[in-house]
Chains A and B, each alone.
Chain A
Amino acid sequence: MVEFIGRTSTDESDMLFQGVLLRDFVDLIGAEDANQITVRASDGHAASLPREDWQRWPIVLVTRAKGKSLTIRQRGPARIVYPSKRYPDLTKQIYDDRSVWLIRNIEW
């Protein structure tokens, strides 16, 4: 379980988030051999995250804010957050696209 304060996109304000590192999550669900995972959202959006992403950066699968489960309006129940504040390299459209929210399922 990790915690961080930040915002996940420019249209939000800073918040205390809680979640798991994606690399831990991938191990947890038994997808450690997968080259990529495909994350689908309830609004129809989907993105594929290559393995190197979660190996290189501490990407977080956020499930809670201020200790409570994420609501839909907080783009819950789960969302991918790239640490673009710590790694300015990540300020790119493709990483914005991969920061899937409203996650409904994860495939690999």
Chain B
Amino acid sequence: MMIEAFGSFETLNGEIDMQSSVKPRCFQLRYSLLVGSLVIFAGVFATFIAIRGLTVLQAPSPDYGQNLIRHMRYAYAELASVNSLLKALDAKYSNRSVNLLLRDATDHLYVRMEVLSSMETSPVSIPDSKAELLSVSLMEGLDGLLASEQTIDPNELASLRSTSDELLIEISDYTRGLEANVDQMLKEKEKITEVIWFEVMSSIALLLLLSMTALALFIGNRRTLRQLREANGHDHLTGLANRGGFSDAMDQRVKARNPVPHALIVFDLDHFKQINDQHGHPQGDSVLKEAAQCLIKTFEGRGIIARWGGDEFVAAIEMADNSLHDIKQKLTTLITTPPSIQINGGVIPIDFSCGIALWPSNGNTVNEVMIRADAALYEAKEGGRKRFVFYSEDITARRKEQDEIRASLSRALSDGELFLEFQPQFCFSSESYVGAEALLRWRCSTSNEMIPPGKFIPIAEESGQIWAIDKFVLDEACRTAADWARRGLGQKRIAVNLSPHSFQRLGLAAIILNTLERWSLTADALEIEITEGVLLTDSQQVETNLADIAKLGVRIALDDFGTGYSNIAYLAKLKPDLLKIDRSFLKEANHHTRASIVQGIERLASTLGAETLVEGIETADELQFVKDAGCQLIQGFLLARPMRADKIAAFWLKNQQANETGNSNQSLLKQG
């Protein structure tokens, strides 16, 4: 069941597609995001409402009986003035002005009592209350008193005075009570406000706490979901299987009763790091998703596809009789028509490199096969990416050999396992040997085998050991040349090969000069051989180094001329002193064509002001041919093989003697 689930590849779009029988609860990320935002929004909204409520609560309320109190105070004042006027009134003497004032005061009091009696709560609005009875009696008494202007009954006046006094006390007491009530109400309101304030603040705090908790739960949930997915064997980003899921599924397939052979394909996205750096990780993630989608489409339903981590994917594809051919075809299509993704308006192709190894034919366990597929992937990348490589035994052997070489190279240099051999170079015009090319050799002490430079030089260049090696070669070659001069073997030029990497070094010319001075050699005794590779790196440092070397007076030879692209513009700029012509043109069967090629090169060389040297002269015919063609210098097995330092000294000596006795090299040439 598990296998089928992984095999279905319908695992994108954030859905967990597991066994069909037990569906785990799906938590929709987008949905939970909405819920989370809603919770936060609700919290903020509630807080806003609560704060608004608080401000409303704090606003002063309009009426706490002030209206009644105001009327009571007016009533008190008006009654007080009536009271004083009554006291000023004398029963015996009629006083007109006091009467007028009393009438006015009585009228005002009348209006006030009218108002008060109509109010819902007032001392005079309760029928038959003491205040009501007193006020009615006072108003009637006053009206009676004012009606009978001439005669005032002293008893009546006294009764009125006492009624007025009593009513004054009643109104005063009532007002006091009213004020006390209002005070009480205000105090209670204050208390309530405090309580409500506390409650609202608590509810705000609670709301905040709740929303924070909800948020924390939400984030926690997401993390748990991711962990669950990973534990379920899924990659969070692409929805493919992860390592765990892949291993489990593969395990089951391997342990099945009739296991089906599988092809394990390791994919690597080319230049993924560059995309990440240039466009940011979110875009990198989209590239990974697109790549996953594309792999699913390519191998629809025929195995397991997993994201191995980073930009690496692994596919295990079931193999039937004809499927190897089928897989090749699919990979070819995938690589030649790569998927692409739009980033910032530009279209970026998603290029794959892949390594393929077969289970069980390339290894007993899945792990073993994976390692081999990885090795094949490494080969594919080494071979220039955008390709697929099937695992073969050679790959392992090559990898193993390279690892061994890398491991023993530094030891080789320090233990003196590296040494030079010298191959003489002959000049037709002077009919003598004019120099030798220094060739690097390595006899490995552990295997006691010669390791050819073609094998270890690329590794040294990759590991950065090449600089030390080149310095060794330069020094050793100059030392040997100095030795020849010291022993009176004549001025012989020494040609040294330097790696293109060394030309990137700062102060290469200074080191060359230093070496020359150390061995008391003149600059023209040294020739630096460079390959076209040096010219192809369009670097300022290389140009500076070449110019500085030329300035020293050291000769520059262009090696393997005629095998590469030989850009004429580069040639003109470099102005080499010597073109070393590769022997490949000697293979040309047509004598006439051969001759034309050489003449062409000769003309080019003379235009550049360079000499020519033909390498690899092996037969007398070839010797005769190059001589007739007008070449100036030759080098090859026919004349002399590369030899150790002691041997070449003897070779020079023998030649010298032969020259002196007149038995020159002419004889050698004549033989040819």
Contacts and interface: CB of A to CB of B under 8 A. Distances in A.
Interface of A: 9-12, 42-45, 71-73, 75, 93, 96-97, 101-102
Interface in B96-127: 104, 107-108, 110-112, 114-115, 117-119
Given A43-B74, A44-B74, A44-B77, A11 B117 contact: yes
18 contacts: A9-B118, A10-B118, A11-B114, A11-B118, A12-B114, A43-B74, A43-B108, A43-B111, A43-B112, A71-B107, A72-B108, A73-B107, A75-B111, A93-B63, A93-B67, A96-B67, A97-B67, A102-B108
The 6 tightest CB contacts between A and B, nearest first, are A11-B118, A72-B107, A11-B114, A73-B110, A73-B107, A11-B115
Contacts of B118: 9-11
A43 B108 CA distance: 7
Contacts of A73: 107, 110-111
A47 B356 CA distance: 101
A3 to B, nearest CB: 23
A1 to B, nearest CB: 25
Contacts of B470: none
Interface in B39-89: 62-63, 67, 74, 77-78
Nearest to A96: B67
Contacts of A101: 111
Contacts of A11: 114-115, 117-119
Contacts of B74: 43-45
Nearest to B103: A72
A68 B111 CA distance: 18
Interface of B: 62-63, 67, 74, 77-78, 104, 107-108, 110-112, 114-115, 117-119
Contacts of B108: 42-43, 72, 102
B19 to A, nearest CB: 74
A65 to B, nearest CB: 14
Nearest to A97: B67
Looking at A11, A73, A97, which has the most chain B CB atoms within 10 Å of its CB? A11
A12 to B, nearest CB: 7
Nearest to A71: B107
Interface centre among A72, A97, A102 (most CB of B within 10 A): A72
A96 B118 CA distance: 14
A11 B120 CA distance: 11
Contacts of A75: 111
Given A11-B117, A73-B110, 19 more contacts: A9-B115, A10-B118, A11-B114, A11-B115, A11-B118, A12-B114, A43-B74, A43-B78, A43-B108, A43-B111, A43-B112, A45-B74, A72-B110, A73-B107, A73-B111, A93-B62, A96-B67, A102-B108, A102-B111
Nearest to B125: A11
B145 to A, nearest CB: 16
B105 to A, nearest CB: 10
Nearest to A101: B111
A35 to B, nearest CB: 24
Contacts of B62: 93
Contacts of B117: 11
A96 B143 CA distance: 29
A32 B117 CA distance: 38
Nearest to B116: A11
Contacts of A71: 107
A62 to B, nearest CB: 14
A11 to B, nearest CB: 3
